[in-house]
Amino acid sequence: MKKVTEEQKTERKPRPKASEVVTKWVMRALDTGVEALRAEYRSLARYTLPEVTYEAFKANHEAGRNRCVDFSITKKALYQDVPCQDQHRVVLTWPGAPCDYIHANYVGTPVSEKRFICTQGPLDGTIVEFWMMVLQEESQTIVMLCNCIETGKYKCSEYWPNQVGMTKTYAGIDITNLQVRPMSPEEQTVIVSVLFVKYTKPDGTPDQREVRHYQWTDWPDRGVPPCKLTSMELLSRIRGTTKPIIVHCSAGIGRTGTIVAIEYILERMQAGVECAAMNDLLRELRNQRAYTIQNDLQYLFIHRVMLCYFLERHKQRYEAILTEENQAKYKKFVDDYNQATGTNN
C-alpha cells in the first residue's frame, strides 16, 4: 500500500465552513485591539513584493502618465511618487493606444485572478488610456472613491459625463450619461451614473455597451468615511460581474486598496479560506498593487466595517461570539477606533 505523507493528509483536509473562518477573524480583531493593529500596520508600512520592479513606471514618468503625490512611508517623512509595479500591471493592447502603459494593476481574489483593476485617477493626459482599458478588459463597473477636487486640490480629471444627456468623446469613444441617481435612499453619498459607450472594436466593427459608474463622494483622502456599511452596500451591487472591476481614487492605493481589501476578505471567507492573519493579507494585496492601503487608519477602517457587519448587521447569526467578555472587547474596540480616527461611529 502506498504511504500517505503528512503533507498529503493536510492537503486532503476539508476547508472550514465560512462561519468558522468569520469567527476566527472576528476573535483575532477583538483580541488584538486597535493599538496593536495600528502597530501591525506600521510594521509593514514599507513592505513591497521582494522582487518588485518599476521599469514601465519609470519609462513613462517623464511623459506625464503618472500622478505625483506626496506619499509618507516612514516616520521620518520620506516622500516619493507612488510607483506602479511591473508585476500584475495592466498592459494596454487596444488599437491606437499611445503606449502599452497605464498606472494600473490587477488584483486577484478567490473569484478571479483579475477580479479588480486598481488604478490611479485619470489625469487629463491619460483619460484616453483609461477608457481604452475599460474596453479592453470589458469592464462593466467603475468605482470612483474620490472627488475631482478635494480641499482645494486637484485629485482626478472629470473623465466621464456626469449629467444626464451629456456626451464626452475620447479617441472615437463616445460616452453618454443615461441616468444619474443615488445608490439607494439610505446611501445618498454614492452616486450611480449609467453610461452608454459606443466604440469601434479592434476588428473594425462598431459596438456599444453599458458601464455603471459609482462615485463615493464623502470619503476623505488619507482618512476614513462614516461607518454606515456603505462599503458593504456598494460591494453587494458590483460583485455579480465576472469582468474586472475598475477601482480608483487619486493615487489608487489608499481608498482603493481599502475597499478592495474588504471584498478580498469577504470572498476568502465565503470560500472557507483562512484569512484571520490580516498582516499576511496586506502582504498578498501589496504583492499585486504596491503600497495598497495607505495608512493605519484605513487598516483600522477595514476591521471596523467587518466587525460592524458581523456583530451588528448579522448579530443573530453570530450571537455565539457575543459573550459578555467579547461585547466588552467590541465596545472598547469601537471607542478606541473613534478616538484614533476622530469619528463617532
Angle at 255 between CA 81 and CA 107, to 5 degrees: 80
Relative to beta strand 116-119, strand 141-144 is: unpaired
Confirm whether 227 is a catalytic residue: no
Assess contact for 81 and 66: CB atoms under 8 A. yes
Q: Check 156, 227, 249, 308 and give the catalytic one.
A: 249
Task: Report residue 245 as a C-alpha cell.
Answer: 472591476
Query: For residue 337, what is its C-alpha cell?
Result: 477606533
CA 337 to chain centre: 21
CB 267 within 8 A of CB 113: no
139 HSE (CA, 13 A, CB side): 26
Q: Are 262 and 231 in contact (CB under 8 A)?
A: yes
Query: For 288, how many CA atoms within 13 A lie in the half-sphere containing its CB?
Result: 22
Kindly list the catalytic residues.
Answer: 249
